Structure 1
Amino acid sequence: MKKNIAIIMGGYSSEHNISIKSGNVVFKYLDAKKYSAYRIVITKEKWFYLDDENQEHPVEKSDFSIHVDGVKIQFDCVFNAIHGTPGEDGLMQAYFELLGIPQTSCNHYEAALTFNKRDLLSTLKPYGVPCATSYFLNKGQSVDENAIADKVGLPCFVKANRAGSSYGVSKVHKKEDLGNAIESAFKEDTQIIIESFLDGTEVSVGVITYNNEVTVLPATEIISENDFFDFEAKYMGKSKEITPARITATQESNVKKLAEHIYKMLGLKGFTRSEFIFIGDEPHLLEVNTTPGLTEESLLPQQAKTAGISLEELFDSAIVEALR
């Protein structure tokens, strides 16, 4: 008997439309012989099932069910394709944990921790994970440009603390430009993180649980045509993404070990994608994404393809592991 799978997509953040694309790719590639897939769109205003005729059917939030043609449908598993809140910050995970419905991403605490860049890096630094020097700032605090520049140096990166897809991220070369960058980041979040510039090769590394084993995928080298790997570089073709990355055997070994170490140490599950910059042979962690992009062009699917894992196999494995 086929399993009913809810593919949740959308969300409340600036990444809503990107998430819709990811969810539709999952819907396209899930094995129709094994699964009955349902696209569930999550917005602040409403949650609904979008059928093949693009008709909306409301979701009953008390038990996460839908009614179609008078028949109540409940779900065996949820495939989480929401980037940003509420799918990547632990809110949906906690909801499904309370309902007892398996879902494909990590559990709620780990999702909340990894989504909060400041908390994540603060947690990992005592375990010897190399990171950039950082400065934290909350909305309403006074801004001391001299103190920021003294601590992190210039150029530096100003980032929204809890956002993805490079929304609210600026590279700042001059101290007098810090104010505008901080204002831009605060449009995405009430917390920001300002980090020192790391000058080295940037790579992205996917780690997944596949066939009941933690599996590190081939690294992708990121070469942006812009000043850094911003939204245009990620989604508008302004970058080169080379998989496998053109790094030395030592660098490859070091970054794979570190990516796997972080995955296991934090107790993650499902799909993750971590970003690193090499200083010499040593990878420095930038962030960990627990619901990475899943379109055909996204980094994690590229890496899986290089490892000989098709999209059908990749998405099937997420459900198998969640149900395990």
Structure 2
Amino acid sequence: MKKNIGVVMGGYSSEYKISLKSGDVVCKHLNTDKYNVYPIHLLKDKWVYIAEDGSETPINKGDFTVTVNGNKIEFDCVFNAIHGTPGEDGYLQGYLELLNIPHTSCPMYQAGLTFNKRDCLATLKPFGIKCATSYYINKGQEINEDEIIAKVGLPCFVKANKAGSSFGVSKVHTKENLATAIETSFKEDDEIIIESFLDGTEVSVGVITYKGEVTVLPITEIVSENDFFDYEAKYQGKSQEITPARISDEMTQKVTEVAKKVYTTLKMKGFSRSEYIFVDNEPYLLEVNTIPGMTAESILPQQATKAGITLNDLFDNAIEEALNQA
């Protein structure tokens, strides 16, 4: 009997449009011989199943079911394609776990931890994971620009602590631009992290559980046409994403080991994509993403393709892993 798979997409953050694209790609590549596929939009004002004709049917939030033509549909598994809240920060994971519905993302705690850049980096540093020097500010707190610059230097990066797709991120070259960058970040989150600039080769490393084994995918080198890997560079073609990365075998081995260590140390499951910058041939962790983009042009699917894993296989494996852990 075919499994009912709900593919959730959208979300409540600035990333919702990107998530809708990821979810659509997942729906198109799932094996309809094995699965009944239900595209589901989770938006601030509605949770709805989108039928082929574009009609919308509300999701019952009490048990995460949908009634179609008088039939109540229960989901055997949920494929989570939501970037940002509530799909990447632990809220959806906790909800589904309380309902005993398997899902393709990492567990609630890991999602919440990795979505919080400050907490994630603080957790990993004692395990020997190298990170940039950082400074934290909460909204309403007094801002001492001289103190910030004395700690992290210039240029530096000002980031919203809990946001993705480079929303709320600025590269600051002068003290005069620091206040504006902080204000921009606070539009996305009430916590920010300011990090020292690391000058070196940037790479992205996908790590997944594939057929029961923690698997590091081929590494991607990021070459941005802009000042850094911002929204334009990520989604509007203003970057080169080169897989495999043009780095030495030694650098490849180092970042592969670190990425796998991050995944296992955090007790991750499902997908992850972590970003690093090499300084003196040593990889420094920038952040960990647990719901990476899933379009054919997105980095992790590109890496999977290089590893000989098709999108169909990648998505099918995610569902199988989730069902096996249930």
Q: If the TM-score is normalised by the length of the shorter chain, which range does it land in?
A: over 0.9
Correspondence for 2:95: 95
| CA shift for structure 1 position 280 | 1.8
Q: Which residue of 2 aligns with 1:275?
A: 275
Structure 1, residues 127-169: CA drift from partner, whole Å, max 9, x if none? 1100000000000011111000000000000000000000000
TM-aligned CA deviation for residue 222 of structure 1: 0.2
Counterpart of 1:73 in structure 2 is 73
Hey, what does 1:5 align to over in structure 2? 5
Counterparts in 2 of 1:57-136, with a 5 A limit?
Answer: 57-136=57-136
Write the distance in 1 (CA, Å) between the matches of 2:244 and 2:51.
38
Partner of 1:199: 199
Partner of 1:187: 187
Counting only pairs closer than 5 Å after superposition, residues 1-80 of structure 1 correspond to structure 2 as 1-80=1-80
Structure 1 distance, partners of 2:125, 2:216, is 21
Q: Distance in 1 between matches of 2:28 and 2:297?
A: 14
- For residues 291 and 12 of structure 1, what CA distance do their matches in structure 2 show? 14
In 2, distance between residues paired with 1:196 and 1:96? 38
Return the letter of the residue paired with 1:169. V
Once the 2 structures are TM-superposed, how far is the Cα of residue 179 of structure 1 from its aligned partner? 0.2
Q: CA deviation at 1:17?
A: 0.3
Could you tell me which residue of structure 2 aligns to residue 208 of structure 1? Answer: 208
Deviation at 1:32, TM superposition (A): 0.6
CA distance in 1, matches of 2:230, 2:142: 27
Give the CA deviation at 1:176. Answer: 1.2
Q: Provide the aligned length of Structure 1 versus Structure 2.
A: 324
| Aligned-pair CA distance for 1:226 | 0.2
SS in 2 for 1:4: strand
Alignment of 1:144-155 (within 5 A): 144-155=144-155
Q: 1:307-322 residue pairs with structure 2 within 5 A?
A: 307-322=307-322
Q: Which amino acid aligns with 1:228?
A: F
Unaligned runs of 5+ in 2: none
Please state how far the C-alpha of 1:46 moved relative to its aligned partner: 1.0
How far apart are the structure 2 equivalents of 1:129 and 1:257?
11
1:170 — aligned with what?
A: 170
State the TM-score, normalizing by the size of structure 2: 0.99
Q: Secondary structure at the match of 2:143?
A: coil
| Distance of 1:80 and 1:198 partners within structure 2 | 32
Q: Find the residue that maps to 1:215 and give its secondary structure.
A: strand
1:230-267 deviation digits (Å, cap 9, x = unpaired): 00000000000000000000000000000000100100
Report the counterpart of residue 247 of structure 1 in structure 2.
247
SS of 1:60's partner is: coil
Paired AA for residue 176 in structure 2: E
Deviating beyond 6 angstroms after TM superposition, the runs of 4 or more aligned structure 1 residues are none
Give the drift of 1:85: 0.2
Structure 1 length-normalised TM = 1.00
DSSP 3-state at the match of 2:111: helix
Q: Tell me, which stretches of 5 or more residues in structure 1 are unaligned?
A: none
Query: What's the CA shift string for 1:74-113, capped at 9, x where partnerless?
Result: 0000000000000000000000000000000000000000
